Structure 1
Amino acid sequence: MGGFKVENSLTITDNRTGKTIIVPVEHNAIPATAFKNLRKDKPETEQGDRQEDEVEGGIRVYDPGFMNTAVLQSRITFIDGERGILRHRGYPIEQLAEKSCFLETAYLLLYGELPSRSQFDLFRTEVLHHTFVHRDLAEIVGSFRHDAHPMAILTSSFAALGAYAPEANPSLAGQKVYTSGTAASLQLMDKQIFRLIGKSITLAAMAYRMRSGRQFVNPPTGMDYAESFLYMMDHLGEPNYRPHPVVAKALDTLFLLHADHEMNASCAAVLQVGSTLVDPYSAVSAGCAALYGPLHGGANEAVIRMLLRIGSPENVPAFIEKVKRKEEVLSGMGHRIYKTHDPRSKVIRKLADEVFAVTGEDPLLKTALALRDAALADDYFIKRRLAPNVDFYSGLIYRALGIPTDFFPVLFAVPRVVGWLAHWRQLMLQKGGVRIWRPRQVYVGEGERTYEGIEGREEKGKGVKGAEPAKVAHPTSTRVFLARQSKL
């Protein structure tokens, strides 16, 4: 962190050795590597040290689940969870949702400033120009079962895209193709960004149409980003078909609200994989896989399933009690970062009314509002600061549009591609180059042991949950095969 004033530092004393170090504080953060200076000469058994503790290498910072670990410095998104603030490059999310559009906000996230008219026109043209995919992608997507989860299809499709751009693969084109900072490098980088943002709506629409066995639809001309996506999802050959403008605007705003959320699980996955200097298609595929999980991108899907289980407003009190007894999980309320309110949820609540005015109100809305009101008035949830988050209402809008529940995470992944790429681009261009992300661990397993032959070993772990392989039920043909193998 360079030179620093003593008053902008921490003084830390190691009571084991009496050694004192001064650690600089910059942007209210300290370098974790400073603790490597707190080392002991050798393990001391009387103090409980083991060889595996590696005390000679200095103190390690133990932070399960990254509860308070910053992995990089960023200029992209700021979140203050205590005050319910979300800003992209300094602009409040509420202002962007009201005045901007998804592609303009995407430009802001990627390049740091809102674009001029000519800059925006160039960016928009490039993104929409790259919505077409190679015809082989239709065969790849079409090879999935009709009931495959759309996120499985999308994750695989992003990875497959990389095979069609060998010049964009550092393993083939040279590991510095994105980090050299030359004009050619920047051009190559931005071309892949245009491709990924443009093709994400096409691949997502293809995954959607797989469900009903419909033919894939080529991207339209003369339509904006969200409008093009809806066209590819819903067009059935009608002449002059165009998605409803209210629905298109609502989806564009939802995309804007989901575009980035700083160092969340999927963004960290993209950067972890990207730090190996793999191609951006593989990195985005990794982010998509991380977003697949119900604790992340699948949360809005979980909200709808929860509301369906509740059924009607009169069943809310009983459900609330089950949550308190930990018999049920309350989805869509509370957030890992936000401790008061999620600023995106207020925008989405207003957006929901605009969509319902066109589609009709979702019957689950009354149940959702009853659940929200009950939770916000209950001390159990107040003390835990559980307020509606972005997932609480977004699923209701998607459901009103007739979108299948398991497609909800895809509608999260498509806009989040922009945020992932903004952080990936920042990583590739950071000063000092890219260093592979290699987290440390605290090893608490067995010390050194001597190998024993299988005939002389004791049977260990018998009956202990998780300490031996689980027995799996097999169909008859498989059981016969395994029995034969055991006799060989």
Structure 2
Amino acid sequence: MGQPSENTQDSLTVRDNRTGKTYTIPIVDNAVSATAFKDIKALRKPGERDENETEKGLRVQDKGFLNTAVIRSEITYIDGEAGVLRYRGYPIEQLAIHSSHLESAYLLIYGTLPTKEQCTHFETEVLRHGNMHVDSEEFFRSFRYDAHPMSMLTSAFAMLGSFYNEANPSLQGQKLYTRGDKESLATMDRQIYRLIGKATTLAAMAYRVRQGREFVTPPVGLSYTGSFLYQMDHLGEEDYRPNPVLEKALDVLFLIHADHELNASCTTVLQTGSSLVDPYSAIAAGCASLYGPLHGGANEAVIRMLISIERPVPENVPAFIEAVKRREKTLSGFGHRVYKTSDPRSFIVRKTADEVFKVTGRDALLETAMALHDAAMKDEYFIKRKLAPNVDFWYVFSGLIYRAMGFPMDFFPVLFAVPRVVGWLAHWRQMMLQEGGVKIWRPRQVYVGAGKRDYVPIERREAVEGLRQVPSAVEHGG
């Protein structure tokens, strides 16, 4: 952990013009402590709202966490300006070429690349924990025939927690995962094996229940993604094996999507996990967050956008671009909350797509995607706004890979969630073992609502009208 330097220049000097007082706040690792601003206090001005709590110190307002660091982490580094993504210091480009999803999972969770023996042990444990209790079959069959697979997967992660009482701090003591001793670490690792191992099984079950097919027991002797594809596609064929090119492609996609620092879903896992809830509930919360169209649903949105452009003809790209500039259409896959140049994962995805298309053939949507890319990259509107194609646009390629492999579009977020379980667990484990223990996350707010009001009896109240200030009238079906 970084320490304040003896150099007084490593500090921030703040002068409160309300009081004339000056405060010195240490800068550690190019960050200042938000709680240090609580020492900057003043008396309330005449007529100022009590709810401002001016005498209790300044609050730091940061809508959407645009520049707030909530944890010290050693896991993933992103430089959005330079287009850099590293797992534990290793460039994602190198890992995509030389590593595998489970080897990189070991790296993310435990901090180092494993030896051959360590990797074999980890992979064996993960794959061994892929089997589900027979009661889970009844759980999946209880969903409607048209249930969204992400709804099923989110529910299934929460359901898992009900099977393992020894994994629940509410039952075993709140220090179950924070002690850091041998027994505590073994309990933590067992849940990590289970969650990574069962993620593919749960996803495959969600897929097959939608298809009206029997569930498939995870096979022995296949890789992580090979086992996943087997559970998805096996229909009783003798000696069935997934296509090795597609198996490798899915492994690469899993690897590059395993972690992306404190995105919405990872932050949700940590926020939930900070209450010391069991990891299954925390992962279910992260899965729910990933479900949103601004996060894990973005890749599906890109494909649907391309389909809308191509109908009736792919020559509609210029007209679509103009409609976007007039704000009549939404352009999915351009611009990124973090990356301001290009996402390093995009090049890996495109190369992987080329390999897959050699097996499956090219999708007609690819030509539309490239035309959209070329048109936007040459247009001043997008250049000035630095709207480079991000990984969600290059999810055109991952989306087309998924289409070529036979995945339905509403399954795309599931293919994002399964590998992201690894990153969620890496950050959850780091938080459980952090120096000083776990503190529940409790953000502050800036209250701008009504001041103190006295209760008014119902017969003396005046009606308040307004679209957002009265409940809606809804129709009730039979």
Give the TM-score normalised by structure 2: 0.97
- Alpha-carbon distance in 2 for matches of 1:313, 1:256: 33
Following TM superposition, by how much is the alpha carbon of 1:114 offset from its aligned partner in structure 2, in angstroms? 0.2
Is the 2:3–2:28 contact (alpha carbons within 8 Å) kept by the matching residues of 1? no
Is the 2:126–2:194 contact (alpha carbons within 8 Å) kept by the matching residues of 1? yes
Q: Cα deviations across residues 216-256 of structure 1 (Å, max 9, x unaligned)?
A: 00000000000000000000000000000000000000000
- Alpha-carbon distance in 1 for matches of 2:217, 2:245: 23
Secondary structure, counterpart of 2:211 in structure 1:
coil
Superposition pairs for residues 380-391 of structure 1, below 5 Å? 380-391=381-392
Q: Which moved more, 1:32-41 or 1:68-77?
A: 32-41
- Alpha-carbon distance in 2 for matches of 1:232, 1:202: 7
Match of 2:458 among 454, 458, 461: 454
Following TM superposition, by how much is the alpha carbon of 1:25 offset from its aligned partner in structure 2, in angstroms? 1.0
Superposition pairs for residues 417-428 of structure 1, below 5 Å? 417-428=421-432
Is the 2:4–2:28 contact (alpha carbons within 8 Å) kept by the matching residues of 1? no
Counterpart AA for 1:153: M
Secondary structure, counterpart of 1:66 in structure 2:
coil
Number of aligned positions between the proteins? 471
Superposition pairs for residues 81-160 of structure 1, below 5 Å? 81-160=80-159
Counterpart AA for 1:334: G
Is the 2:161–2:281 contact (alpha carbons within 8 Å) kept by the matching residues of 1? yes
- Alpha-carbon distance in 1 for matches of 2:110, 2:276: 21
Counterpart AA for 1:470: S
- 1:215 equivalent to 2:214? Answer yes
Question: Match of 2:446?
Answer: 442
- 1:14 equivalent to 2:16? Answer yes
- Alpha-carbon distance in 2 for matches of 1:45, 1:268: 40
Secondary structure, counterpart of 2:64 in structure 1:
helix
Following TM superposition, by how much is the alpha carbon of 1:2 offset from its aligned partner in structure 2, in angstroms? 5.2
- 1:252 equivalent to 2:251? Answer yes
Superposition pairs for residues 186-335 of structure 1, below 5 Å? 186-311=185-310, 312-335=313-336
Q: Which moved more, 1:191-200 or 1:22-31?
A: 22-31
- Alpha-carbon distance in 1 for matches of 2:227, 2:151: 22
Is the 1:313–1:371 contact (alpha carbons within 8 Å) kept by the matching residues of 2? no
Is the 1:127–1:195 contact (alpha carbons within 8 Å) kept by the matching residues of 2? yes
Q: Cα deviations across residues 460-479 of structure 1 (Å, max 9, x unaligned)?
A: 1x1x221110111112x5xx
Instruction: Structure 1: give runs of 5+ residues left out of the alignment.
Output: 478-488
Is the 2:272–2:285 contact (alpha carbons within 8 Å) kept by the matching residues of 1? yes
Following TM superposition, by how much is the alpha carbon of 1:3 offset from its aligned partner in structure 2, in angstroms? 4.2
Is the 1:179–1:433 contact (alpha carbons within 8 Å) kept by the matching residues of 2? yes
Counterpart AA for 2:417: A
Instruction: Structure 2: give runs of 5+ residues left out of the alignment.
Output: none
Following TM superposition, by how much is the alpha carbon of 1:165 offset from its aligned partner in structure 2, in angstroms? 0.4
- Alpha-carbon distance in 2 for matches of 1:218, 1:195: 15
Counterpart AA for 2:367: K
- Alpha-carbon distance in 1 for matches of 2:306, 2:362: 15
- Alpha-carbon distance in 1 for matches of 2:335, 2:406: 27
Superposition pairs for residues 391-402 of structure 1, below 5 Å? 391-392=392-393, 393-402=397-406
Following TM superposition, by how much is the alpha carbon of 1:101 offset from its aligned partner in structure 2, in angstroms? 0.4
- Alpha-carbon distance in 2 for matches of 1:290, 1:432: 28
Question: Match of 1:485?
Answer: none
**Superposition RMSD on alpha carbons, in Å?**
0.9
Q: Cα deviations across residues 157-190 of structure 1 (Å, max 9, x unaligned)?
A: 0000000000100000100000011100000000
Q: Cα deviations across residues 94-145 of structure 1 (Å, max 9, x unaligned)?
A: 0000110000000000000000000000000000000001111111111101
Give the TM-score normalised by structure 1: 0.95
Following TM superposition, by how much is the alpha carbon of 1:441 offset from its aligned partner in structure 2, in angstroms? 0.3
Is the 2:77–2:86 contact (alpha carbons within 8 Å) kept by the matching residues of 1? yes
Secondary structure, counterpart of 1:10 in structure 2:
strand
Q: Cα deviations across residues 43-77 of structure 1 (Å, max 9, x unaligned)?
A: 2135xx31000111100000001111110110000
- Alpha-carbon distance in 2 for matches of 1:198, 1:232: 13
Is the 2:76–2:261 contact (alpha carbons within 8 Å) kept by the matching residues of 1? yes
Question: Match of 1:178?
Answer: 177
Counterpart AA for 2:436: G
Question: Match of 1:483?
Answer: none
Moved over 4 A (4+): none
Secondary structure, counterpart of 1:316 in structure 2:
helix
Question: Match of 1:346?
Answer: 347
Percentage of matched positions with identical amino acids: 65
